[in-house]
Amino acid sequence: MAVVDAGGANLGSVCYALERLGVRPRVVDDAAGLAGADRVILPGVGAAPEAMRRLRAQGLVEPLRQLKTPLLGICLGMQLLYERSAEGEVECLGLLPGVVRHLTPALGIRVPHMGWNQLRPLRRSPLLDGVGEGDSAYFVHSYAAPVTADTVAACDHGGLFTAVVQRGRHCGAQFHPERSAGTGARILRNFLEMDF
């Protein structure tokens, strides 16, 4: 199990969450560190342009694009899996189709979206095994991915956005599973145990 150090403040909490599940992750910051990993997690907090600059500087963009191992993006890490982000109009990894866009503030809708919100399962995926309709997760973000055919679960904050995504071996959680109590732990465990 490899966890990519892309400069996100959630790196430590993701590693601790994995350790609570009995997994000792290896933190990697270059392509060589990905070798031999049976799963890879890309956590992230912050801005897409800076995160992509860091991944480029570490020589990780192409290795992540060509990775044959199951990959889970968390929060900003999930957004980086898409083609582009409107945040800085930056090209991302392009592993999932779609453009990440800014959430729209409205009456009673604050941006950034911070706090607990319910998941709405949209299609079957082993990622959601044991996660029920209306189970909640902890979100902190201002940008979000659109709902597409790859969306496993959505969330509503002034409109629906992708909360959990899976396209083959590429998976993502917009929320922080490491801070989402039993729901988050279950999704992490599902990712670790899934057959791809």
d(CA 22, CA 93) in angstroms, rounded, equals 30
In the DSSP assignment, the letter for residue 145 is P
Q: Give which of 159, 22, 144 is closest to 85, Cα–Cα.
A: 144
In the DSSP assignment, the letter for residue 127 is G
Structure tokens at 15: 């590693």
Query: What pairing do the DSSP bridges indicate for beta strands 160-167 and 151-156?
Result: antiparallel
What is the helix (H) or strand (E) element at residue 13, kind and residue range? Answer: helix 11-20
Please pick, among 19, 113, 178, 193, the residue that the annotation labels catalytic. 178
Can you say whether the dihedral through the CA atoms of 132, 123, 69, 179 is positive or negative? negative
Please pick, among 15, 170, 176, 193, the residue that the annotation labels catalytic. 176
d(CA 132, CA 120) in angstroms, rounded, equals 9
Sequence-distant (≥ 6) Cβ neighbours of residue 109 within 8 angstroms: 103, 157, 158
| 178 has catalytic annotation | yes
| 176 has catalytic annotation | yes
| 92 has catalytic annotation | no
Residue with token string 């995926």: 125
In the DSSP assignment, the letter for residue 146 is P
Please pick, among 15, 75, 92, 155, the residue that the annotation labels catalytic. 75
Q: Point out the residues that are catalytic.
A: 75, 176, 178
